[in-house]
Amino acid sequence: MKPRYYLFDHRIIFLIGYIYYFFTPYFVGTTNAFEGYLGIELYQGFFRLIPKAKLNSYVWITLSWLVAFYLGHLCFKMIKPYKKSLQLFPASFASKGMDYIAILLLPVLILFTWLSRDAFSGAYTLTGTDAKGKLASLLVMFNFLLLYQLLSKQKASRLLIAETVITALLLILTGGRLYSFQTIVILLMYKTSFATKRWRGYHIAGIVFMAFLLGSATGLRRIGASFTFGRAAYSFLAEPVFTWISTSTFLISNDIPLINMPLNFMTSFFNLVPNSILPLKSLIVSSHAGYAFQTPLGAESVWTNIIINFGVIGSFIFMGITGFMLNLLRHLSEDNHFWAAYYLMVCGMLPFQFFRDGFYIVNKQLFFNFLFLPLLILFILKCIQFAQSRPDKAVIGRGSGN
């Protein structure tokens, strides 16, 4: 059989997010694009205040990160130069047990939908933020359960597929488009790598175009604007542009540090511990960490976050380690069922959430939602399998003695 490899992996997905969040705002600012659109005047007002020297520094620092990321990737490749052919994993008690977990989570989906009903309106609200958090956490769980089954040699649960699609659509209605796009990225990676019938270029183009239309149309609906392709482009590009306000205001108000102690990054791991077990959240160092910048629309560019935590030199090292670790995960995914699911989940968040959320959220996703909770589910299923197998073994043992 012909060897199968990832058609696109973390290298391409990272590059998409990198250009989208780091250079789209620069392009909009320098070309004065979307003049007259909602919020652009605010953005341009900040952009014009950035000293030219700092704007040039931003470009060179950002370009160095791309070099560092791919250097990190190549460093791991020197350790493991050969790729393994991808294939579906054998069906197991755990993969089949996802059907029952899907049934258990159905009342949760119904409850969250009911509690979030006020958020399914045409305007962004504080209620929508809370609803988005509940549904986003549930979608992450459905993504893992469904992906674990899809990576197995078995049919995926229809209920699980329906729950995943419904939750993703509900999230779009609450304004959580980027969380739903994670599901699309995961699906694209699966269908172009592990799936028996792999998608071709026109499949990918079709899905991406449909996602663009759905995401932009929903965004326009929520600001009360009718659909045109110009407005759709604005809705699509407004996400990184308004996220970048944190970077523009940082560049206006602060000197760029060469190196820093990553206190915010290190203490962000305290967010993994539930407050009911240990009240550690009060020890988390603010992402501002003594620096002045603004986030009027909530989102915070990872550029600001990384520079504040690591400085210019440290950020280069951080990006190199990131590239190294992602290539390590890709290697592990080639012959391990769990790590394959984990790697695809990480790639799902890479082009969007990685670039727009602070370490406080990103690390919780990576290590709690993507790692701890799925491992806990698999552990529980293993325990159930072990408990069911013990009586059989006892009967066999008694029969052998006779």
pLDDT tens per residue across span 234-257: 888 888 999 999 999 999 999 999
Backbone angles phi and psi of 368, in degrees to 5: -105, -60
pLDDT tens per residue across span 75-106: 999 999 888 999 999 999 999 999 999 999 99
The two three-digit tokens of residue 335, written as one number: 């012959």
pLDDT tens per residue across span 255-290: 999 999 999 999 999 988 877 778 788 888 988 888
pLDDT tens per residue across span 318-355: 999 999 999 999 999 999 999 999 999 999 999 999 99
Give the residue extent of every domain in the chain: 10-396
Give yes or no for residue 204 having a pLDDT over 70: yes
Backbone angles phi and psi of 49, in degrees to 5: -85, -10
- The pLDDT of residue 199 is 87
Give yes or no for residue 398 having a pLDDT over 70: no
The two three-digit tokens of residue 39, written as one number: 């919020």
Give the CA count within 13 Å in the CB-facing half-sphere of 17. Answer: 26
Question: For the chain, what is the radius of gyration of the CA atoms?
Answer: 23
* Cβ–Cβ under 8 Å, residues 134 and 115: yes
The two three-digit tokens of residue 168, written as one number: 């993703």
Q: How many helices (H) and strands (E) does the chain have?
A: 17, 0
Reduce the DSSP state of residue 196 to 3 states and report it.
coil
Give the integer Cα–Cα distance in Å for 239 and 22: 11
The model carries a pTM of 0.92
DSSP H or E segment with residue 209: helix 201-222
Backbone angles phi and psi of 181, in degrees to 5: -65, -25
- Average of pLDDT values for 169-191? 88
